[in-house]
Structure 1
Amino acid sequence: MIPSDDRPSDAEIATINARHLAVTPLKPADLLFVFGSREGVALRVASAARLWRAGFFRRAIVSGGVTPGGALSECAVIKAAMVEAGVPGELILEELAATNTGENVILSLPVLDAEVGLDRIHSVICLGNAWTARRYPMTLHRHWPAVEKMLLTVNSFGVPMASWPDHPVLRALVLAEWAKIEPYKRNGFIADWPAIGV
């Protein structure tokens, strides 16, 4: 990712903070949906283990295929680390082929339906990178509107997420993700999901 030299205006920052970098209250859910990535794996795993210990999910699914230069799928890497951190392996479902957020959802739904039954899952916590933020539940909402969605994100850049406008690489990531929202909605890849804080 090329660092961004262009700092958005204060109004743009406020809009992105409110509409894209959404945070939701968390409550115990039927499912933790871990979106695969090579970024922030340790933070993802620590968050998943913390949620498990606190009783915030009954089952989990980890979705993510092999990325260029990798030998193992994102799913295999993250699941193994979650088990090491204390989440029971038999409660973690696997989706091993997805290469993007849309595929994370599309390829995971049949796994969930076969193993649990989609009609038995009423609430989901989405776990992924902070800069992708609301696009996770928006993608889930496009393909599975009935389920209640919550969002928990991790930020591997070592600065508070509120500092994103002043961190060139993080700023570039946030702006790139923000730029995808309207085109993805027009193309039917994602669906409107409540913008928390607006």
Structure 2
Amino acid sequence: MSKRRRPMTDEDGKDAALIWDFHQMHHQLRPCSVGICLGGPDPGIASFAAELFRRRLYPLLLFTGANSPDTRAWFPRGEALHNCERAIELGVPADAVLVEPAATNTGENITLSRQLLADAGIETANVMLISMAYMERRAFATCRKMWPDVDVICASEPLEFDAYAERIGDPPLALDMIVGDLQRVIEYPKKGFAIPQHVPDHVLNAYDRLVAAGYTTRLAAV
């Protein structure tokens, strides 16, 4: 249950930085069969996906995602379609993209993208998941559960928490988001949505402090 937040403090920012770093997998990027660009409330995802395409890290770029309350204002026709159009504007060839427009959560992002690639006869020994930085770990855990036979590399635009919070224009909301994703990393394996992952004590302590401070608007019912 959410409650009124107190004003954001320097200590909150330090806890946010700990969780932000934990959410990132810190994978070494290498060429993959396909890039899968996940949706979210950040237009920078598509730009970064296009940059990685230009760096020849994948020959095919799949955009996945319908809409959510967080993204409807920015992407009224769906996350996948808007992100695809942005990537094409940035030079990705139209014949190098696929669009999966129906997924409404990360599990569907993975399963529907997998099905689309299979239907197209595209072999995928490995995939690169491009997401917001704070979604990397959950995307990885979900993919390992839903698509266990594929090798997964996670990538996100190199941003610190403060820069991301400034980009979206609402630091407390950014904090809510990273707290909510950490809760899902912890809880979703129990529901069969993702593989379990070890969460260090210092990250759990930061999470507990931020929840106690009221950064709870993105927590899921468990």
TM-score using structure 1 length: 0.79
Write out per-residue CA displacement over residues 38-94 of structure 1, whole angstroms, 9 at most, x where no aligned residue.
Answer: x221x2122112111111001111101134545411111011111111111112111
- Inter-partner Cα distance in structure 1 for 2:85 and 2:13: 42
Partner AA of 1:107 in structure 2: L
CA contact (8 A) 1:40 1:155 kept: no
What is the CA–CA distance in structure 2 between the aligned matches of 1:32 and 1:194, rounded to whole Å? 26
The residue number in structure 2 matching 1:103 is 108
Are 1:49 and 2:50 counterparts? yes
- Whether contact under 8 Å (1:63, 1:74) holds in the other structure is yes
- Aligned equivalents of 2:77, 2:35: Cα separation in 1: 21
Q: Match of 2:191? A: 187
Higher mean C-alpha displacement, 149-158 vs 59-68: 149-158
* Contact 2:20 2:178 (C-alpha < 8 Å) held by counterparts: no
Which residue of the partner structure matches residue 27 of structure 1?
30
Aligned to 1:115: 120
**2:78 paired with 1:76:** no
In 1, distance between residues paired with 2:48 and 2:111?
24
Determine if contact 2:137/2:185 at 8 Å carries over to the other structure.
Answer: no
| Higher percent of residues as strand | 1
Contact map agreement 2:185 2:196 (CA 8 A) in 1: no
Within 5 Å, give how 1:77-156 maps onto structure 2.
Answer: 77-117=82-122, 120-154=123-157
The 8 Å contact of residues 131 and 170 in structure 1, kept in 2 or not, is answered as: no
Larger radius of gyration: 2
Stretches of structure 2 lacking an aligned partner (at least 5 in a row): 200-222
Aligned-partner residue type, residue 40 of structure 1: D
- Is the 8 Å Cα contact of residues 157 and 170 (structure 1) preserved in structure 2? no
* Matched residue count: 187
The CA distance in 2 between the partners of 1:13 and 1:157, in whole Å, is 8
| Structure 1: distance between partners of 2:36 and 2:183 | 24
SS at match of 2:118: helix
Report the Cα offset of residue 96 of structure 1.
0.8
Identity %, equivalent residues: 22
Note the aligned Cα RMSD (angstroms).
3.2
What amino acid is aligned across from residue 42 of structure 2 in structure 1?
G
Report deviation, 1:116: 3.3
